[in-house]
A and B are shown apart, each in its own frame.
Chain A
């Protein structure tokens, strides 16, 4: 069955960096676009970033553009999110999610997110 397992979260000071990972299994990882979605305490789900199946297209929410970098290693069935220049408002549980959709040269579009991981908590605090 499909499994997505995030790791790499923790407590980090403002301005510092972390790399989050998402290990995927149970499906052909290299065939699907993958996403990061986060939930801050007391808030709803916020889409963060997407990477196309082959890594050629990457798009970000305005709130993280220029600070976060999404990547993937299809040989390791692993998705990454490098989170840098962290701010207090980046404190959240970060989920990776598999989606049915497609990417073009200008954007990605999602029909639905069919599988999610349990998330990894990032706490930005001095």
Chain B
């Protein structure tokens, strides 16, 4: 799924909201409601923060939200905090058997 396109980087100031986009095709994002997002701090375990487009696992802050429109999914982080600075990856279920991730987006909190 290297075909999932994410911006290489985004940035925002504490307290602001940012949105990370993830663009695919009708064979993945557009065809199924199984988009997931992962937060990865360097040196730590990646963490599932959104699944099934917009669901949050237990314990994940409600500052994280997900949505989808057509072939593009989005992750929004509101009330940006310093601890949100990390890499974020999207992926989508697909019948093509590709199990990969988007290329990742580096979030910088200014």
Contact = CB atoms under 8 A, between A and B. Distances in A.
Contacts, number: 66
Contacts of B93: 101, 109-111
A47 B52 contact: no
Interface residues of B, number: 25
Interface residues of A, number: 27
A58 interface: no
Contacts of A45: 38, 40, 46, 89, 101, 104
A110 B1 CA distance: 12
B104 A110 contact: no
A52 B52 CA distance: 21
B36 A113 contact: yes
A46 B36 CA distance: 15
B72 to A, nearest CB: 18
B46 to A, nearest CB: 5
Interface string A36-56: 010000001111001000000
A116 B45 contact: yes
